[in-house]
Amino acid sequence: MIPRYALPEMAELWSDQARYETWTKVEVLATEAQVRLGRVPEHVLPDVRAARVPPAARVAEIERERDHEVLSFLAAWCEDMPDESARWVHWGMTSYDLVDTALGHTMARSADLLIGAAKRLRRVLADRAVEHWRTVCIGRTHGVHAEPVTFGHKLARFAFAVDRSVERLTAARAVVAVGTISGSVGTYALIDPAVERQVCERLGLGVEPAPSQVVGRDRHAQLVSAVAMLGSCVEQIALELRLLQRTEVGEVQERRTIAYQGSSAMPHKRNPTTSERLCGLARLLRGHAYAVLEDVALWHERDLAHSSVERVALPDSLMVGHYQVTKAAELVETLEIYPDQMRSNIDHTNGLVYSSAVLAGLLEDGMEREKAYRVVQAAADRAARSDVDFATALGEHGIDAGELRPERFLARQDVILTRLETLRELED
């Protein structure tokens, strides 16, 4: 992923050097387990522990000759060891015993970062929802004014969506946090299963219960799909905020510094660029999810078709997801909200948004449904096409609508607030 859309703490986990640090850790743990089992001489262990993590540049240099990253890593790492010790390194293992176990560790750590960021977004949404629970605005369906809601209610919907994403990510984190050290086709032919168990325990990983040469790629697909789902939830937030920032709506605005410049030609422009960026990144995440789903079906005990996809899609998904959700929290936390404009927009249609309440009142008074609907509809059409307000148009049909205020729609919405307060009690 390009640095523009990657935050340092996540990008570092996926750097080449970090990968070789994790590979080194797995190899040291495997050697320690082999020594405990009596499979590798004890005098080897100090040399293995003392060997430095090979620089990424050195691994790349050797790989240009060998065309095999794991063998190049092992060669570079073993340069710091006596030959007598180096020959015991990677004993009984195949390449993906190292790669997949290390990858499970990295994905688990990455998922932890992402879950933490998602929980922060959940908290920010819930806090601002409570802050604006009484801020009345118009609800829209099909892009058209429907009935009054509150801005807090809008944000509450998003908070619960992010909470569901946290649940999906947490479940996926458990699924990807596995390793395998089981040999060339997963039969433990040349290595004791105790090595696998001890290494995975030390890394905080579970064990693939029926390995081939690799762990099942459905695990990776579940995580990347959960990241894409979170991305789509963030997109829903960003899309709503984009729409509310339109000139003719003007209910919210992204906070900008005095240095901000929205257009090279039009100095007045304040564009919703952060929201737009978040929507665009969601498209990337869905594309990566599709690619990783394609990796689930491999030939026989494995082929290598998944490797090139994973080198791009796994780090990019987690970096983009982490960046997107972090920036979404910042956006919502600093969002400028304009209650007066929201109230003004409710009144824009001269009372038409109260038609459902008027209809319900007529039905309660005993009017036949089709007649009541047509009378209210006729009054609404007259108000929409003239300077007559809705209440006056209703009066022409002999209907006294009483006081038309948005609060009459909101008497029961505090049941949602109770649920939201429960969500706010969850720990970050």
Rg, Å, the chain Cα set: 30
Task: Give me the chain's average pLDDT, please.
Answer: 95
Instruction: Please answer whether residues 172 and 226 qualify as being in contact, where contact means their C-beta atoms are separated by less than 8 angstroms.
Output: yes
Structure tokens at 41: 């001489």
Q: What is the pLDDT of residues 252-284, one digit of tens each?
A: 999 987 778 777 788 888 899 999 999 999 999
Kindly write down the DSSP assignment for every residue of 333-363, as one continuous string.
HH-EE-HHHHHHHHGGGTTGGGHHHHHHHHH
Model pTM? 0.94
CA distance 384 to 382: 5
Q: What is the pLDDT of residues 170-222, one digit of tens each?
A: 999 999 999 999 999 999 999 999 999 999 999 999 999 999 999 999 999 99
Superfamily in which the 1-91 domain is placed by CATH: Fumarase/aspartase (N-terminal domain) (1.10.275.10)
Ordered by start, the domain boundaries in the chain are: 1-91, 93-346+414-428, 352-403
CA distance 110 to 104: 10
Structure confidence at residue 428 (pLDDT): 64
pLDDT at 427 over 80: no
**Catalytic (active-site) positions:** 142, 263
CA distance 154 to 239: 12
Cα–Cα distances in angstroms (integers) from residue 234 to residues 135, 244, 252, in the given order: 22, 16, 17
Please give the backbone phi and psi of residue 196, each rounded to the nearest 5 degrees, phi first: -55, -50
Q: What is the mean pLDDT of residues 50-61?
A: 97
Parallel/antiparallel/unpaired status of strands 336-337 and 252-253: antiparallel
The partner residues of 136 in beta bridges, in order of sequence, read 150
pLDDT at 19 over 70: yes
Q: How far is CA 216 from the centre of its chain?
A: 22
CA distance 372 to 363: 7
Q: What is the mean pLDDT of residues 13-41?
A: 97
Query: Percentage of residues in the chain with pLDDT exceeding 90?
Result: 90
Q: What is the dihedral of CA 54, 55, 61, 64, to 10 degrees?
A: 70
pLDDT at 2 over 90: no
Helices (H), 245-368: 273-293, 305-334, 339-346, 355-364
* Closest by CA position to 358, among listed 310, 318, 390, 383: 390
Q: What is the pLDDT of residues 92-134, one digit of tens each?
A: 999 999 999 999 999 999 999 999 999 999 999 999 999 999 9
Q: Which helix (H) or strand (E) holds 150?
A: strand 144-150
Please give the backbone phi and psi of residue 78, each rounded to the nearest 5 degrees, phi first: -75, -10
Q: Which CATH number fits domain 93-346+414-428: 1.20.200.10, 3.20.20.70, 3.90.470.20, 1.20.1280.290?
A: 1.20.200.10
Q: What is the mean pLDDT of residues 231-253?
A: 97
Structure confidence at residue 285 (pLDDT): 98
404 conformational bin, left if phi > 0, alpha if psi -120 to 50, beta if neither: beta
Q: What is the mean pLDDT of residues 317-327?
A: 98
Q: What is the pLDDT of residues 385-424, one digit of tens each?
A: 988 999 999 999 989 888 888 888 999 999 999 999 999 8
pLDDT at 235 over 70: yes
